[in-house]
Structure 1
């Protein structure tokens, strides 16, 4: 189904570009960015998200915040949303509206940003005020950890590039980001309550909240902690703080925060001095194996940008 959707998107966009390029003197006859999403079935979830997040009208009009009147949108396909379990307008109800709005704005830039301006190592500011990074890997271009699968789709009010994963940024540090999830400020059902308790009990919260400390964090979900033998949050609260600190430091890499697209090594040294082993990079992600794990951890939600690093949600606790 994924290939069919992408092929449909490519065909529809190709037809669209052909039509509008036949008469560039009549830009007003081009569809708006919002209209492109409406007219293309491969972007129906994005259309629903734009309506729910209150940005559909914005992307139907010219940009008042840029002299050109243009926007650039990195548009996630339906398959991109499906990777987060968001498959239609109904499932978008799992997200808090304020978070959904900010997520959509994170995909938007002021002005036209064309493909020839997207080069490895460059950055682009989002409408949310947070920079995104461009990465070249294996002949493909990425924005953060999302592959750019189609470029330079012209709209009356800007330019659209299609991407294969939804980009997420919290705008706050790693600890505050975990608290947002814990307090249902992102997904209505919390995912990281056990991890938050572990960070508090271990005494590592000040270190992970320090803006001067940049980390890549592999964050185990609640289900991962339960599978590791912590039946309840109270079990985590009662655990030896030194033990929890050792375990948590095995999930932290002291670097500038690395997106999946930027990780090219097969191993990494943790903040605790142990080694994590990565599988080959496939479909935009990789698995992670701790020294004492027999089964690697999979990424549940990769590439969450925080103010002091990058967090990847994983489905297994990494044992040192």
Structure 2
């Protein structure tokens, strides 16, 4: 079993124990000016955020709605519309075409970690690993998580760096961290 798989298993176990112990969380942050509800799943909350209309359209085009409504737990790194707008002209339109569904699915699943990782968990893992923690995503990509002075950043396989702008948006099937850049796999 790979070390990163063991770490994800340990993290999942730790989070399950924390949930059973009744660890309380502060009220969920608003996203896009809209309330996010802990008893709703990732999709049901995401569709209400005006800052995530492009992400929601992409998830629908890739056929990932049912997967992200599943039990999880998932950590979704959710790029805002401006992050998609920052991609080269025509990129989003091209990715949304049916013939590019596989590429779109790969990109989107590289934004999903198959565990529930709150910002404090990410900070601890990064600190335990000397400043940066490597994770595998559902899409088979690697991401490098870093925490510094309370800020979490994510580096993708292409060398891009996204900042977590809103952390710990608790969902019934995981957690969303809002980010300011689209993460890209190595192509």
Larger Rg belongs to: 1
- 1:162-241 aligned within 5 A: 167-168=28-29, 169-170=36-37, 171-181=39-49, 190-210=50-70, 212-229=71-88, 234-238=93-97, 240-241=100-101
Q: How much has 1:238 moved relative to structure 2?
A: 2.5
**CA distance, structure 1, for counterparts of residue 92 and residue 148 of structure 2:** 34
Q: How much has 1:242 moved relative to structure 2?
A: 0.9
Contact 1:285 1:299 in 2 (8 A): yes
Aligned to 2:156: 290
- 1:132-147 aligned within 5 A: 132-133=24-25
Say if 2:182 is the partner of 1:317: yes
TM-score scaled by structure 2? 0.73
Matched residue count: 151
**CA distance, structure 2, for counterparts of residue 307 and residue 300 of structure 1:** 21
- 1:1-320 aligned within 5 A: 121=18, 122-124=21-23, 132-133=24-25, 167-168=28-29, 169-170=36-37, 171-181=39-49, 190-210=50-70, 212-229=71-88, 234-238=93-97, 240-255=100-115, 257-263=116-122, 264-265=125-126, 266-279=133-146, 281-293=147-159, 295-320=160-185
Kindly tell me: are residues 292 and 232 of structure 1, through their superposed partners in 2, closer, same or farther at Cα, counting changes over 3 Å? closer
Which has the bigger relative contact order, CA under 8 A and spacing at least 6?
2
**CA distance, structure 2, for counterparts of residue 272 and residue 230 of structure 1:** 24
**CA distance, structure 2, for counterparts of residue 174 and residue 167 of structure 1:** 13
Q: How much has 1:226 moved relative to structure 2?
A: 1.1
Which portions of structure 1, spanning 4 or more consecutive aligned residues, are displaced by more than 4 angstroms?
Answer: 230-236
TM-score scaled by structure 1? 0.44
Contact 2:95 2:103 in 1 (8 A): no
**CA distance, structure 1, for counterparts of residue 93 and residue 140 of structure 2:** 28
Deviation per residue, 1:52-106 (Å, 9 max, x gap): xxxxxxxxxxxxxxxxxxxxxxxxxxxxxxxxxxxxxxxxxxxxxxxxxxxxxxx
Kindly tell me: are residues 313 and 230 of structure 1, through their superposed partners in 2, closer, same or farther at Cα, counting changes over 3 Å? farther
- 3-state secondary structure, aligned to 1:223: helix
Structure 2, unpaired ranges of 5+: 1-16, 30-35, 127-132
Structure 1, unpaired ranges of 5+: 1-119, 125-131, 134-142, 144-165, 182-189
- 3-state secondary structure, aligned to 1:201: helix
**CA distance, structure 2, for counterparts of residue 301 and residue 231 of structure 1:** 27
Contact 1:197 1:236 in 2 (8 A): no
- 3-state secondary structure, aligned to 1:213: coil
**CA distance, structure 2, for counterparts of residue 245 and residue 230 of structure 1:** 20
